[in-house]
Amino acid sequence: MKNYLVQTDKHIDLKKFDADDLSLWPDSKKEAKKEIKKLREKLIQLQQVLYAENKHKILIILQAMDTGGKDGTIRSIFKGVNPQGVKVASFKVPTPLEFAHDYLWRIHQKTPGSGEIVIFNRSHYEDVLVVRVHELVSEKIWSKRFQQINEFERQLTEEGTTILKFFLFIDKEEQKQRFLERLENPDKQWKFNPEDIEERQYWDDYMRAYQDVLNQTSSDYAPWFIIPANSNWYRDLMITKIIVEHLEKLNMVYPQPIESIGQYVEILKKAD
């Protein structure tokens, strides 16, 4: 998966990435869906051990342009996992209470505890994206936040959190088609906001902002992955593979049973 990893020693140029790329899966879409199902079963098993062991913490960050597929990714990949151990946090416009604090205050409250997987649907990165593009704060302010975010994520990892960050990369034409699909499908019209069309005018500004985010905040301890996301099935396959691979590296095990477990088996067998 190094093809999509934003390496710390190389400067990436988003113009060179292909949102239609399918190069890491030579087989058919049908076979990919079978592979996703197998990976999802592995993920379910790994998440059960994670929850039982109650030692590691997993933070998954999803960022994308509008219609990029964050909601669909969550639904597809985490279908069937134990809801006790998986949480989703979405970050919208700050409330008055949140706005009265520093921009990371509301983020830290949603980070995972031991045994948990937390998925951020948008995240603290909005504070170096939206605020920059719309000039809500000065460059002097938002430019300092790259280092602040790096330090924040380092602190989380030093306290036992595994962080995986995914930029779901679609192109502008694909976004247009997805907006049209929403408008033409009565079941999806509720998701459309006229402001989404206005935001398209800032596409190039967002791409520049995302490029800086990826280059300045991908680290060995909290890596960014740029995932080609024009094809939903390929997006799901790549992200699930990466998550499973990283969970397997944790070498998690179920807690040891109590020594006298056999005694309780016999007691229960004889019980009424």
Task: Spell out the domain ranges in the chain.
Answer: 2-270
210: closest CA among 170, 164, 151, 157?
A: 170
The pLDDT assigned to 256 comes to 80
* Cβ atoms 115, 54 nearer than 8 A: yes
Residue 265 confidence class, pLDDT cut points 50, 70, 90: confident
**For residues 191 and 124, which has the higher predicted lDDT (pLDDT)?**
124
Average pLDDT in the 252-264 region?
79
Angle, vertex CA 236, rays to CA 106 and CA 179, nearest 5: 75
The pair of three-digit structure tokens given for residue 212, joined into one six-digit string: 């800086």
pLDDT in tens, 93-123: 889 999 999 999 999 999 999 999 999 999 9
The pLDDT assigned to 263 comes to 74
The pLDDT assigned to 170 comes to 98
Q: Which of 20-29, 227-236, 251-260 has the lowest mean pLDDT?
A: 251-260
| 216: amino acid identity, one letter | Q
pLDDT in tens, 23-35: 999 899 999 999 9
pLDDT in tens, 73-90: 999 999 999 888 999 999
Indicate the average pLDDT of the chain.
Answer: 94
Spatial distance between the Cα atoms of 42 and 44, rounded to a whole number of angstroms: 5
Residue 258 confidence class, pLDDT cut points 50, 70, 90: low
With a cut of 90, say whether residue 225 has pLDDT above it: yes
Beta bridge partners of 163: 59
Among residues of the chain, what percentage have pLDDT more than 70? 98
Edge-first strand order for the sheet with 86-90 is: 86-90, 117-121, 57-64, 161-169, 224-228
Domain 2-270 CATH class label: alpha beta
End-to-end CA distance of the chain: 55
The pLDDT assigned to 239 comes to 98
* Cβ atoms 219, 153 nearer than 8 A: yes
Spatial distance between the Cα atoms of 131 and 133, rounded to a whole number of angstroms: 6
**For residues 37 and 187, which has the higher predicted lDDT (pLDDT)?**
37
214 vs 8, 34, 128, 219, CA distance in Å? 9, 31, 11, 9
**Residues constituting the chain:** 272
The pLDDT assigned to 257 comes to 72
Spatial distance between the Cα atoms of 264 and 258, rounded to a whole number of angstroms: 10
pLDDT in tens, 192-215: 888 888 899 999 999 999 999 999
Spatial distance between the Cα atoms of 248 and 60, rounded to a whole number of angstroms: 15
pLDDT in tens, 136-179: 999 999 999 999 999 999 999 999 999 999 999 999 999 999 99
How do beta strands 86-90 and 224-228 pair?
unpaired
237 vs 40, 54, 201, 229, CA distance in Å? 9, 27, 31, 10
* Cβ atoms 112, 118 nearer than 8 A: yes
